[in-house]
Chain A
Amino acid sequence: MHLLPETELEQILSGCSKGGRSSQLALYKLFYAYGMSICIRYAESEEEAIAVLNEGFFRVFQNLGKYDRARPFKPWFRAVVVNTAINYVKKQRKFKSEVNMEEALHVPEREDILSRIGYKELMAMVQSLSAAYRTVFNMYVIDGFKHEEIATQLGISVGTSKSNLTRARAKLQQLVLQKIDTRYA
């Protein structure tokens, strides 16, 4: 997302409030990548992520009247999209299932990892988690929810949330290690 003067964003948002299709397209283009980066973490595929993102944009367009123009737009947009993604996961009703997994054995130095593995691969790893682990991991680690909030949002216990997070981390560490081992074997 390239930086945009505030006035230009204001104009786009005003156009969106009036239902202007060109303004809606401008906002969509402007926040598509950012929105996708959120949705892809919750979805299992890019197609699914697009569907979630479109639902998020739809809610943004519908609720622009509720957005406080005195505050930055990006956090509000993020909140709408994250909530849309969580609702999507809830509708799928997959987040309650838990899958047994093996503990990760060891993980190399973190500073080396990003230079060896692209962020797309990291996101692919997140996507490869079961919905139960993925959702809790995303909500807690990336989107900053607390376990109590996660439990309330998903209708699970705090203990389940913590358990899923622990196992998700362990699984991701294992996947990172495997990726590095495969690449540099």
Chain B
Amino acid sequence: MPDWTDKDTDKLFQDGAEQFDFEFNPAAWAQMEKKLDREKRRRLFWWWWPAGFGVIMLAVIAFMLNRKNLTPQDSLPVGKQSVHASGNLPKNSGETASPQIFPGNQPGTDGAIPKSADAPSLEEKGVLKMAPAGKSGQGAASSGKPLPTATDGQNKVKTPDAPTPVPGPENVGLSISENNISVILKRRDSLQQRSFLPTILIKEVLLGHPVQPSLILPFDNKNLLAQNQEEDNGLALIAGIAAGFELSSAGLGDFSRLSWKLGANLEFRYRQRFGLGIGANFIRLNYDAGKGEYIPPKGFWTRKIPPIASRGICQALEIPLDFSYYAGGLKRSGIFASAGLKSYVMLAQQYYYSYDLPDPDLRRMWKTGKNSAYWFAIGQISVGYNKVFSKKTNLAIASYVQVPLSGIGHGNVELYSVGTQVRLGFRLK
């Protein structure tokens, strides 16, 4: 027709496009709700995980502050104790050193070592002379501050001349050699103080200075020495059984599926606090994967049409390899942190696929019982609390986050998880 133009065609379809009368479709809304729910869960995860991590970090900080704010007799961290107590004496015999044993004046003291019958002062004993106030180059004394005292207010410092006390937790002592002044407070305290994390990390790990050797134990207390040495350098072997659950997701989309695991592990402890563990857990993985997050071998999808969502239900052997640090060591309860790698041996895999299209030819399910291994596929960090019940048993509970280092399973899925694990440990050696 001569008068039929492009504009006519456009107008025809523009008019047609305006005349819509689609009825509300409840099935469409159901799909929409699923989408919204998934997003809600994803957001919840991103709130929950930092919040949970924040709570743990607050607990750690509170723990640290609590260590610092103990009463004076409990509050000397080993770092300070060793630095001050074991400082070298000047070679120059004309100069006398200030025995900077305690960082400040204590109640009931006047800056001088008490002259009591129980604990004669170092000056009186002629063992140690106090530097005169205002003398330069002598730390606290030089700054005009009251001289520190060798007492904690309750326990009197004893010199090597003093009567040998009964060995036990209340032992207090001072050892002076030509180049070294060392002090020991209550043995209980020294053990407590050694769990002060930053000090220990700096001295033992970064500087390579062992803490305990600077504490020279007085009075030939061989039992005490042996115990401390064992705690410092002794190796330990701890076997454990573990159980846990986690929320997993391929990608960071939907953490609504719960997985669980059950297993055993073996941990070698070095210097009480450092642990290297290996384990084997049977895990039932349960997760959702969104579009494009499940990547099977080429040619798997019918007519190359991928699903909009996949669900995985797998049974696997999980092999964790962890390095841990226990603030409380072997004998005391305390927080711990670990990091490690996990490998997976898939024992059985089953997957379900969902599509937008009602095409009956599309692949809806796939499963296999064939084993496949994925080494060091997942990295993990965890923080938790280790409760020591006795010399032989402990219970550790930890929250962890896992991030993928490579894909696992038939769908080469990058699996993220957040979870909690409980481990009951038995010291074998």
Interface residues of A (CB under 8 A from B): 19, 21, 24-25, 28-29, 32-34, 36-37, 40-41, 45, 47-48, 50-51, 53-54, 57-58, 61-62, 106-110, 113-114, 119, 122-123, 126, 137, 141-142, 169, 172-173, 176
Q: Offer 15 A-B interface pairs, CB within 8 angstroms, sorted by A.
A: A21-B33, A36-B22, A48-B356, A50-B27, A54-B35, A57-B32, A107-B4, A110-B11, A110-B12, A114-B16, A122-B12, A123-B17, A172-B13, A173-B4, A173-B9
Residues of A within 8 A of B1 (CB): 106-109
Scoring B residues 378 to 406 as 1 if CB is less than 8 Å from chain A, else 0, what string do you get?
00000000000000000000000000000
**Which residues on the B side are within 8 Å of A54 (C-beta)?**
28, 31-32, 35
**What number of residue pairs across chains A and B have CB atoms under 8 A from each other?**
103
Decide if A50 touches B28 in the complex (CB within 8 Å).
Answer: yes
- A47's contact among B4, B9, B32, B358, by CB below 8 Å, is which? B358
Residue tally, chain B, CB below 8 Å to A: 36
Within 8 A of A (CB), among B69-128: none
Residues of B within 8 A of A109 (CB): 1, 3-4
CA distance A107 to B33 in the complex (A): 45
Instruction: Select A28's contact among B10, B32, B358, beta carbons within 8 Å.
Output: B32
Which of A19, A24, A32, A106 contacts B28, CB < 8 Å? A32
B12 close to A37 (CB less than 8 A): no
The answer for the CA separation of A137 and B10 in the assembled complex, in Å, is: 9
Check A29–B36 contact: CB distance below 8 A. Answer: no
Known interface pairs A28-B29, A57-B32. Does A41 touch B17 (Cβ–Cβ under 8 Å)? yes
Contact with A along B152-167 (1 / 0, CB 8 A): 0000000000000000
Which 3 A-B pairs give the minimum distances between C-beta atoms?
Answer: A37-B20, A122-B16, A119-B16
Write out, one digit per residue, whether chain B residues 18-54 have a CB within 8 A of any chain A CB (1) or not (0): 1111111101110111011001100000000000000
Given A50-B28, A54-B35, A176-B12, are A169 and B17 neighbors across the interface (CB < 8 Å)?
no
Contact string against A for B residues 306-331, beta-carbon threshold 8 Å, 1 for contact and 0 otherwise: 00100000000000000000000000
Grouping DSSP codes into helix (H, G, I), strand (E, B) and loop, the A interface class, with mixed when no group exceeds half, is helix
CA distance A25 to B30 in the complex (A): 10
B178 at the interface (CB under 8 A from A): no
Q: Please, how many angstroms separate the alpha-carbon atoms of A141 and B19 in the complex?
A: 15
Distance from A153 Cβ to chain B, minimum over Cβ atoms (Å): 19
Residues of B within 8 A of A58 (CB): 32, 35-36, 39
A37-B20, A47-B356, A61-B36 given; 8 more Cβ-contact pairs under 8 Å = A33-B20, A45-B357, A110-B4, A113-B12, A119-B17, A123-B16, A141-B13, A169-B9
Note all chain B residues with C-beta closer than 8 A to A24: 32, 36
Tell whether, in the assembled complex, residue A36 and residue B16 are in contact, meaning their CB atoms are under 8 Å apart. no
- Interface status of B177 (Cβ within 8 A of chain A): no
Least distance between B57 CB and chain A CB atoms (Å): 29
Tell me if B22 and A37 are in contact (CB < 8 A): yes
What chain A residues lie within 8 Å of B19 (beta carbons)? 119
Is B220 in the interface zone, CB < 8 Å from A?
no
A149 vs chain B, min Cβ distance (A):
17
The answer to whether A106 touches B35 (Cβ under 8 A) is: no
- When distances are taken between beta carbons in the complex, the residues of chain B under 8 Å from A21 are 33, 36
Interface residue B361 (Cβ < 8 Å from any Cβ of A): no
Q: How far is the CA of A47 from the CA of B33 in the complex (A)?
A: 16
In contact, B20 and A122 (Cβ under 8 angstroms)? no
B374 vs chain A, min Cβ distance (A): 30
How far apart sit A89 and B259, CA to CA, in the bound complex (Å)? 37
Q: Which residues of A contact B31 (CB under 8 A)?
A: 50-51, 54
Residues of A near B28 (CB, < 8 A) are 32, 50, 53-54
**A50 vs B267: C-alpha distance in the bound complex, in angstroms?**
55
Complex formed: what's the CA distance from A90 to B10 in Å? 23
Pick from A109, A110, A176 the residue with the most CB of B within 10 Å: A110
Q: How far is the CB of A151 from chain B (nearest CB, A)?
A: 19
Q: How far is the CB of A88 from chain B (nearest CB, A)?
A: 11
In the complex, A7 Cα to B119 Cα: how many Å? 86
Across the interface, do B35 and A169 meet the contact criterion of CB distance under 8 Å?
Answer: no
In the assembled complex, how far is the CB of residue B108 from the closest CB belonging to chain A, in whole angstroms?
Answer: 63
Q: How far is the CB of A38 from chain B (nearest CB, A)?
A: 8
Instruction: Find chain A residues with CB under 8 A from B24 CB.
Output: 28-29, 32-33
Shortest Cβ distance from B8 into A: residue? A110
* B357 CB contact (under 8 Å) in A34, A48, A123: A48
